[in-house]
Amino acid sequence: MKKYDAIAVIDFGGQYAHLIANKVRRLSVLAEIKQPEDSVEELAGYKGIILSGSPALTSQGDEPGLNRAILGVDVPILGLCFGHQEIAHHYGGEIAFHGREWGHANFHKSVDHPLFEGLNPVEQVWMSHNDSVVKVGEGFEEFGYTTLEEGGKKHGYAAIGSDIHKRYGVQFHPEVDDTPNGDVLISNFVKKICGCEPSWTMSSYLAGQVDRIREQVGEGSVFLLASGGVDSTVAAKLFAKAIGNERLHLLHIDNGLMRKDESKNVVEMYKALGLDTNFHFYDATEDFLTALGDEISPEEKRKIIGNTFVEVFDKKARELGIEDHLLGQGTIYPDTIETGATKRSDTIKTHHNRVPVIDELIKQGKVIEPLADLYKVEVRELGEMLGIEKKAVWRHPFPGPGLGVRLLCSDGAAVDDLAEATAHSNKVASEYGLTALALPVKSVGVKADLRTYEHPVILNGETTFEKLQETAGRIFKEVPGINRCIWNLNDVAVTEAVPLAATMTKARLDMLREADALVMNGLRKHGLYDSIWQCPTVFIPLMINGVGSELCVVRPIHSERAMTATAASLPAELVLELREHVMNIQGVCGLALDLTSKPPGTIEWE
């Protein structure tokens, strides 16, 4: 028997499988990730099962690899999105392809049931799917339906259930923060339907990780690439607690892709944290810029940065005489799920700590990642438990590849014919008194658990932030090939955008560093830094209306776990300040605010 009441989360490769587990753990109930092909014996002791979403399509005959015997286990089962469809299909229902649907919808309860206890008759929910349940089998009934707006067209069977079979499903994603009361539904399933008692806490997780680190490291040492970000800093403190400072070597590499004065600040922070016993610093700017060369592909840039990190690490490790070490990383779960590291997940983007050479080291047992099952909010909680000051724990996330994924590169070649996308976007925008232009660049996105590489649209004109978001939402739903929407912050409308040839150079990086510093300082000045989860500043090599060479995009977002995000607005005073100062950087020809939620756009542009 398990020490704690526990829920098994069956991972079909959706973006949110571990987020489901995280949400259950926030209820102080242990949740563990299991695979669809696991045996029934491996599910013994769990008090309930949750089936995750997936990029697979039941309507197209995609085989999820599910051991069907799992659906016969005598415990309650809840299916989310694809899992909901699998339950309906298994018990005699029908699934049909109705086209992609993502974003907010209104869920209407059709019945009173313990699963919905404490929920309003109509709740805002988050959708991200292609297939839909159109019929249920014997013993099941419709628990609720959705509409995209009040009084709109019904989307039937958005929730189904059978108390006879103890099987339940919802088409939407209650595990994401964009379903505001999704936690209530998950709690109802875990505690009321499955009968789990809260007994698992972060303190128990901390104790378990300390034991695991000591077991894996043995008498050896850990060499950690310490960027100074939240994840690597918490990992460093955790390693120090487990094995002591003498056996922990920290290497901070300035890869030339960092923020203004970042390395200087990192060195001072680690000293203040008492982590400077074996702290090493190396300026590898030339190594990285030389390796990146003229590369423009986002995926290839990430791989080059990741491989160069390992090359520099090996070089410095040899110089420092460290032979028998484990490579420590502050990897958290979004890094691995977006890389397609689970068996069925679609690769959204390759993270620098999940390139092939790292994967090979993992197979050899030479990598140790104590935070790999945690999300940012849990890492921060763990950091506070380890005594790291709030200022360090709650700083904005910064990607491992740094500004390398915020400085877009291009060969300047002409791209797809965007006339139709522009015309279609303009048709939508005109209803809100705006104009639109599809831009001749691409960025990474995610739709229905699948990676996209599509164009952004820039909106011109004045309206409320709510109307801008509504416009963007409609464009995402109605215009093919668009996964990002930005709003022109200048007075002059953007009517022409021409791609320019540009690579990763120190001069461009220095320009971006200045713009980024202006944005960060502006957020602090206006008291917004703590309320905004992250705010990338992005440079795109475009000539706007025949002028300049860089379009600057500011992307403030609200999130908790990075798996979903919503765009944040900026006060008019800050916009005016940024327009004045950022536009004074030589070469900057435009300033825009990113309006994109995640999905359909990832937080970073690359």
Q: Which CATH number fits domain 410-594: 3.40.50.880, 3.30.300.10, 3.10.20.30, 1.10.1070.11?
A: 3.30.300.10
Strands (E), 264-401: 279-283, 325-328, 367-368
In this prediction, residues 89-96 reach a mean pLDDT of 93
Q: Is 90 exceeded by the pLDDT of residue 177?
A: no
Flag the least confident range among 295-299, 505-509, 538-542.
295-299
Nearest CA to 176 among 189, 185, 165, 167? 185
Give the mean model confidence (pLDDT) for residues 135-161.
88
Task: Answer yes or no: 81 catalytic.
Answer: yes
HSE (side-chain half, CA atoms, 13 Å) at 582: 32
Over range 386-415, report the average pLDDT: 90
- Residues 196 and 345: their CA atoms lie apart, in Å, by 29
Instruction: Give residue 319's pLDDT.
Output: 84
Name which of 127-131, 208-212, 376-380, 556-560 the model is least confident about: 127-131
Token pair belonging to 526: 């206006």
Mean pLDDT within 160-168: 97
In the set 86, 101, 123, 175, the catalytic residue is 175
- Model confidence pLDDT, tens digit, residues 217-250: 999 999 888 888 899 999 999 999 999 999 999 9
What is d(CA 590, CA 492) in angstroms, rounded to the nearest whole number? 9
Give the tens place of pLDDT for each residue, 10-21.
Answer: 998 766 787 898
Say if residue 396's pLDDT is above 70: yes
The class of domain 202-404 in CATH terms is alpha beta
Identify the pLDDT of residue 33. 87
Q: Which residue has the higher pLDDT, 296 or 340?
A: 296
Q: Is the pLDDT of residue 281 over 70?
A: yes
Per-residue pLDDT tens for 440-450? 999 989 876 67
DSSP letter, residue 605:
-
Are 173 and 182 in contact by the 8 Å Cβ rule? The answer is yes
**pLDDT, tens digit, 9 for 90 and up, residues 347-356:** 444 444 555 6
| Dihedral (CA of 334, 339, 345, 347) sign | positive
Q: What is the mean pLDDT of residues 526-554?
A: 96
317: its two tokens? 């490790």
Q: What is the mean pLDDT of the chain?
A: 89
The mean pLDDT of 325-337, rounded to a whole number, is: 76
The pLDDT assigned to 365 comes to 81
Burial label for 118, CB within 10 Å (0-12, 13-18, 19+), is exposed
Question: What confidence score (pLDDT) does residue 574 get?
Answer: 98
Q: So what's the pLDDT on residue 322?
A: 63
pLDDT band at 542 (very low <50, low <70, confident <90, very high): very high
Report pLDDT for 225: 82
The reported pLDDT for the residue numbered 350 is: 47
Give the domain ranges of the chain: 6-193, 202-404, 410-594
pLDDT of 336 > 80? The answer is: no
Task: Say if residue 303's pLDDT is above 70.
Answer: yes
Instruction: Name beta bridge partners: 502.
Output: 410
At residue 512, the pLDDT reads: 98
Q: Can you tell me the distance from the alpha carbon of 469 to that of 474, in angstroms, rounded to the nearest whole number?
A: 9
What average pLDDT does range 81-94 have in this prediction?
Answer: 93
CATH topology agreement for domains 6-193 and 202-404: yes
pLDDT bucket at 6, cuts 50 / 70 / 90: very high
Helix, strand, coil percentages (3-state) for the chain, rounded to 5, are 35, 25, 40
- CA torsion through residues 189, 190, 195, 198, sign: negative
Helix (H, G, I), strand (E, B) or coil at 478: helix
Predicted confidence at residue 327, as pLDDT, reads: 85
Instruction: Supply the pLDDT for residue 1.
Output: 45
Is pTM beyond 0.75 here? no
Q: Would you state the pLDDT for residue 104?
A: 86
Closest CA to 298 of 171, 216, 399: 399
- Fill in the DSSP letter of residue 192: I
Q: Is 24's pLDDT higher than 70?
A: yes
SS3 of 72, please?
A: helix
Q: Which of 251-255, 559-563, 577-581 has the lowest mean pLDDT?
A: 559-563
Cα separation, 90 vs 75, in Å, equals 16
pLDDT, tens digit (0-9, with 9 covering 90-100), for 181-206 = 999 999 999 999 999 999 888 888 89
Q: Is the model's pLDDT at 324 over the cut of 90?
A: no
Set 18, 89, 173, 352: catalytic member: 173
Summarize pLDDT for 466-523 with one digit per residue, the tens. 999 999 999 999 999 999 999 999 999 999 999 999 999 999 999 999 999 999 999 9
| b (16+ CB within 10 A) / e for 185-200 | bbbbbbbebbebeeeb
Architecture of the domain made up of 6-193 = 3-Layer(aba) Sandwich (3.40)
Residue 172 has pLDDT above 60, yes or no: yes
Q: Tell me the mean pLDDT in the region 524-532.
A: 96
